[in-house]
Chain A
Amino acid sequence: MIEIDRITKTYNGVRAVDSVTMTVETGTITVIVGTSGSGKTTLLRMINRLEEPSSGEVRINGESTLAVKPHILRRRIGYAIQGHGLFPHHTVARNIAAVPELLNWSADKIRARVDELLTLFSMEPATFRDRYPAALSGGQQQRVGVARALASRPDLLLMDEPFGALDPVIRTRAQEDLRRIQQQLGSTIMLVTHDMEEAMRLGDRVAVMDAGRLVQHGTPAEIITRPATDFVASMVGEVERPLRLLSLVPVSDLVEAGTAEGEALQVGASLRDALSACLWTGRSAVPVEQDGRRVGRVTFDAIRARARVHP
């Protein structure tokens, strides 16, 4: 559990981060979202003490981050950034091994961990281990950056706009990978982004920052249905609210007995996908498929009703 306790950063009398308090549960993804200058990156960088807080403190599993030297603390906290920041003069394997090496892991243990992580990120170890970062695609470089951050099994993974430099297609794939890997490893992640769509897609919890203050911290559904301030509402986007809400709900929630014509959706798809399918093909219901078998359908009316059900 990560506890952020009234943390404040002042630059020349201006409060870049103003007394932010929040708790992050172990094994969840918290996305900090805000416009540029909202203090979201400063907040993140205070957790691993790349910025020293002016006041307040952060506790990781009850232990204050001020209790150890900054560079020792950072070896326990994974850090992945926009533009990956890989060491261009080291191979993929040495890049991933950077923190375990600092922690004096044995060579065998490091090698096994590198291969494990490469496999996890769908990169064949034999092919990629000895390549230099310049020989990788943007998406692969980004994956190696995240693998490096996860290498020592850190208590916490901090990510600062990790997908910002990727093109939209690769970004979606990277987000799905991160979700899958986080669930597999049970990692605790705090991620900063300016993209509400990304926040909704990845976050178990979303924290909205505005002018240095934490204005709302809740589940994506809460942020959409009960925005705390006008600023949060504008970040969500009034027009897109129903669609964002539907994107959070899997079709399995509304699946009902019955049949429908046309191409089927997977149970894991969201109601937004289902709505889109209805509108695009002019159908009033779409069949739902699980493991290649049709298990029922989702109707246009049910989706419409669901989008309206909020306080």
Chain B
Amino acid sequence: MRIGTVLRPALVLLLLALVLRPAWFTPVFAPFAPQGGPVIYDRVSLLSLSLSHLGLVAAASAAATLIAVTLAILVTRPAGAAFRPLSRTITNMGQTFPPVAVLALAVPALGFGAGPTLVALFLYGLLPIFENAIAALSTLPPATMEAARGIGLNRWQRLVRVELPLALPVILTGIRLSVVIALGTATIGSTVAARTLGEVIIAGLLTNNTAYVLQGGLIVGLFAVLIYDALVQLEVRLARRIGAQSS
């Protein structure tokens, strides 16, 4: 906790500086740049690339959350239990398919740009959220569920007032894993012309410029670490409200 209070603002400042004032880092990255070559990526603003990158991840994760949680709710109802194995197989397939393959297959259908990347990130993000939501919804405290029924909540009220709030911290863990995977995976979207921070890394790889690779990698990495941390804080807060009850 102590380290976090110092480290967290420091990392946020470092990230902001890398994105907004990349020129400051010229002396740091210079040793990695080729002789006489450019040190700092300046073809487009890193801010606009970052926003586009985060936007893609947010859109794909939101869609994956919506679908995965809805699916998990359906298959944890008595009427939907029969579809549980099938839905598991489908989401598992989404995970086993390498995102690169999804990109390659999606380009002919959706063309170059953000479309194929969104599809790949969406499919890749389903599984962790789906599995966590199922686990959370099927291990709710039995006495609480019995009481919820016994005092007269109908199915919808039980779902909205009791089941989802109690399952939220565990579902959020799934979303966190999914978002962090998507933040990294989105970089390869640049191979099909999606605007992401992968552009910087790929430019570096193409021109043998390690400075670009480091710059792009560092920014993506810092985003991942900080977003991961923020979501952990949120989970801890929610779980604390629900209390050490589950014991």
Q: In the assembled complex, which residues on chain A have CB atoms less than 8 Å from the CB atom of B141?
A: 85, 88
Please, how many angstroms separate the alpha-carbon atoms of A248 and B243 in the complex?
Answer: 42
B154 and A87 contacting across the interface, CB-CB below 8 Å: no
Please, how many angstroms separate the alpha-carbon atoms of A84 and B141 in the complex?
Answer: 11
B144 and A88 contacting across the interface, CB-CB below 8 Å: yes
Stretch in B37-45, B111-119, B145-153, B193-201 touching the partner:
B145-153
Please, how many angstroms separate the alpha-carbon atoms of A71 and B244 in the complex?
Answer: 30
A71's partner among B146, B153, B162 (CB-CB below 8 A) is B153
Q: In the assembled complex, which residues on chain A have CB atoms less than 8 Å from the CB atom of B148?
A: 85, 87
B143 and A132 contacting across the interface, CB-CB below 8 Å: no
B154 and A71 contacting across the interface, CB-CB below 8 Å: yes
Chain B interface residue count, CB cutoff 8 Å, equals 24
Q: In the assembled complex, which residues on chain B have CB atoms less than 8 Å from the CB atom of A145?
A: 147
Restricting to A131-146, which residues have a CB under 8 Å from any CB of B?
132-135, 145
Q: In the assembled complex, which residues on chain B have CB atoms less than 8 Å from the CB atom of A84?
A: 143, 147
Please, how many angstroms separate the alpha-carbon atoms of A83 and B145 in the complex?
Answer: 12
Mask of A71-115 contacts with B, CB within 8 angstroms, 1/0: 111110011011111111100000000110010000000000000
- Nearest chain B residue, comparing its CB with the CB of A72: B152
Please, how many angstroms separate the alpha-carbon atoms of A245 and B17 in the complex?
Answer: 84
Report if B242 contacts A (CB, 8 A). yes
Q: In the assembled complex, which residues on chain B have CB atoms less than 8 Å from the CB atom of A46?
A: none
A50 and B149 contacting across the interface, CB-CB below 8 Å: yes
Restricting to B121-157, which residues have a CB under 8 Å from any CB of A?
141, 143-154, 157
Please, how many angstroms separate the alpha-carbon atoms of A81 and B153 in the complex?
Answer: 16
Given A82-B143, A89-B165, A134:B151 Cβ within 8 A: no
Please, how many angstroms separate the alpha-carbon atoms of A113 and B67 in the complex?
Answer: 41
Given A75-B152, A88-B141, A102-B152, A135:B243 Cβ within 8 A: yes
B242 and A89 contacting across the interface, CB-CB below 8 Å: yes
- Nearest chain A residue, comparing its CB with the CB of B169: A89
A86 and B151 contacting across the interface, CB-CB below 8 Å: no
B151 and A132 contacting across the interface, CB-CB below 8 Å: no
Please, how many angstroms separate the alpha-carbon atoms of A69 and B97 in the complex?
Answer: 48
Q: In the assembled complex, which residues on chain A have CB atoms less than 8 Å from the CB atom of B241?
A: 89, 132
Mask of A262-295 contacts with B, CB within 8 angstroms, 1/0: 0000000000000000000000000000000000
Q: In the assembled complex, which residues on chain B have CB atoms less than 8 Å from the CB atom of A85?
A: 141, 143-148, 150
A75 and B150 contacting across the interface, CB-CB below 8 Å: no
Q: In the assembled complex, which residues on chain A have CB atoms less than 8 Å from the CB atom of B146?
A: 50, 81, 85
Report if A244 contacts B (CB, 8 A). no
Please, how many angstroms separate the alpha-carbon atoms of A175 and B246 in the complex?
Answer: 26
A74 and B166 contacting across the interface, CB-CB below 8 Å: no
A81 and B150 contacting across the interface, CB-CB below 8 Å: yes
Report if B35 contacts A (CB, 8 A). no
Q: In the assembled complex, which residues on chain A have CB atoms less than 8 Å from the CB atom of B245?
A: 88, 132-134
Please, how many angstroms separate the alpha-carbon atoms of A88 and B246 in the complex?
Answer: 9
B151 and A149 contacting across the interface, CB-CB below 8 Å: yes
Please, how many angstroms separate the alpha-carbon atoms of A89 and B157 in the complex?
Answer: 15
A71 and B242 contacting across the interface, CB-CB below 8 Å: no
Please, how many angstroms separate the alpha-carbon atoms of A228 and B144 in the complex?
Answer: 38
Interface hub of A71, A75, A84, A148 (most chain B Cβ within 10 A): A71
A83 and B243 contacting across the interface, CB-CB below 8 Å: no
Restricting to B147-179, which residues have a CB under 8 Å from any CB of A?
147-154, 157, 161-162, 165-166
- Distance to closest chain A CB from B146 (angstroms): 6
Q: In the assembled complex, which residues on chain B have CB atoms less than 8 Å from the CB atom of A82?
A: 143
Interface hub of B147, B149, B162, B241 (most chain A Cβ within 10 A): B147
- Distance to closest chain B CB from A152 (angstroms): 9
Interface residues of A (CB under 8 A from B): 48, 50, 71-75, 78-79, 81-89, 98-99, 102, 132-135, 145, 148-149, 158
Residue contacts A-B, CB under 8 angstroms, 16 given = A71-B152, A74-B150, A81-B150, A85-B143, A85-B145, A88-B144, A88-B166, A88-B246, A98-B151, A102-B152, A102-B153, A132-B242, A132-B245, A133-B245, A148-B151, A158-B150
Q: What 13 new A-B contacts, CB under 8 Å, besides A50-B146, A102-B153, A133-B245?
A: A71-B154, A74-B152, A79-B151, A85-B144, A85-B148, A87-B161, A88-B144, A88-B242, A89-B242, A132-B241, A132-B243, A134-B245, A149-B151
The 7 lowest CB-CB distance pairs between A and B, nearest first, are A134-B243, A85-B147, A79-B150, A74-B152, A75-B152, A85-B143, A88-B245
Interface residues of B (CB under 8 A from A): 141, 143-154, 157, 161-162, 165-166, 241-246
